[in-house]
């Protein structure tokens, strides 16, 4: 079953290649959606795909080996709306 994940990621998450690396990881998992920097310093992630692949993206994001330091992730799960054809960085 396809799901939609909306996440607001806070911490040291801008200027550390997070958007680029998340995009590559999401594409490798076959997810669709986007990631973008927000004016308040957070990063917004919207992704659609199988729930197991969305969870795999979240697990990968939380690994401590990355340049970013995630302090908080607010998640919202919902049904997929099939709004996207690929995964991109929004500017």
> For residue range 9-67, what is the model confidence (pLDDT) as tens digits?
999 999 999 999 999 999 999 999 999 999 999 999 999 999 999 999 999 988 877 78
> For residue range 62-74, what is the model confidence (pLDDT) as tens digits?
887 778 888 999 9
- How far is the C-alpha of 30 from the C-alpha of 41, rounded, in Å? 27
Q: What is the pLDDT of residue 67?
A: 86
Q: Which residues are catalytic?
A: 19, 37
Burial of 48 (0-12, 13-18, 19+ CB in 10 A): buried
Domains for the chain: give ranges and CATH numbers: 2-79 (3.30.70.100)
pTM, entire model: 0.93
- How far is the C-alpha of 43 from the C-alpha of 51, rounded, in Å? 21
């Amino acid at each position: 079953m396809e799901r939609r994940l909306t996440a607001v990621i806070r911490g040291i998450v801008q200027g550390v290649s997070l958007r680029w690396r998340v995009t590559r990881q999401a594409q490798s998992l076959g997810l669709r959606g986007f990631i973008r920097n927000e004016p308040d310093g957070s990063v917004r992630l919207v992704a659609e795909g199988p729930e197991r692949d969305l969870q795999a993206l979240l697990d990968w994001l939380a690994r401590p080996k990355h340049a970013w330091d995630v302090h908080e992730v607010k998640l919202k799960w919902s049904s997929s709306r099939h709004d996207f054809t690929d995964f991109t960085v929004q500017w």
